[in-house]
Amino acid sequence: DLRLEHVYLREGRILVIDCVEFSDAYRCSDVALDLAFLVMELSVRGRDDLVESLVAGWLEVTGDEQALPLLPFFGAYRAVVRAKVAGMTLMDPAVEPGERATLAQGALRHWLWALGRLVPRGEGPALLGVGGRPGTGKTTVARFLEELGWVVVRSDVVRKELAGLEESERLDPGAYDLGSRERVYGASFRRAGALLSAGKRVVVDASFTRDAWRVELLELAARYGVPCSFVRCIAPDSVVEERLSHRTGDASDADFQVFLKALWERESARTAPLVNVVGTGVSLDEVRERVAQLASELP
Confidence of residue 26 (pLDDT cuts 50, 70, 90): low
Q: Does position 2 have pLDDT exceeding 90, yes or no?
A: no
Rounded to an integer, the average pLDDT of 235-240 is 94
Q: CA–CA separation, 159 vs 171, rounded Å?
A: 9
Q: Does position 73 have pLDDT exceeding 90, yes or no?
A: yes
Confidence of residue 74 (pLDDT cuts 50, 70, 90): very high
Percent of the chain with pLDDT over 70: 97
What does the DSSP assignment read for 161-180? HHTT--TTSPPPGGGGSHHH
**Which pLDDT does position 20 carry in this prediction?**
64
Q: Where are the domains of the chain?
A: 1-118, 126-297
Confidence of residue 9 (pLDDT cuts 50, 70, 90): confident
165 or 26, higher pLDDT = 165
pLDDT in tens, 154-169: 999 999 999 898 887 8
Q: Does position 210 have pLDDT exceeding 90, yes or no?
A: yes
**Which pLDDT does position 251 carry in this prediction?**
74
Q: CA–CA separation, 31 vs 237, rounded Å?
A: 56
Rounded to an integer, the average pLDDT of 188-204 is 97
Q: CA–CA separation, 112 vs 145, rounded Å?
A: 21
Confidence of residue 22 (pLDDT cuts 50, 70, 90): low
The mean of the pLDDT values for the chain is: 91
**Which pLDDT does position 113 carry in this prediction?**
96
What lies within 8 Å, CB to CB, of 24 at 6+ separation is none
Confidence of residue 16 (pLDDT cuts 50, 70, 90): confident
**Which pLDDT does position 227 carry in this prediction?**
93
Name the pTM for this structure.
0.84
Decide if 168 contacts 250 (C-beta within 8 A): yes
Task: Indicate the class that CATH gives domain 126-297.
Answer: alpha beta
Decide if 262 contacts 209 (C-beta within 8 A): yes
pLDDT in tens, 39-65: 999 999 888 889 999 999 999 999 999
Decide if 2 contacts 37 (C-beta within 8 A): yes
Decide if 207 contacts 253 (C-beta within 8 A): no
**Which pLDDT does position 5 carry in this prediction?**
85
Q: CA–CA separation, 114 vs 116, rounded Å?
A: 5
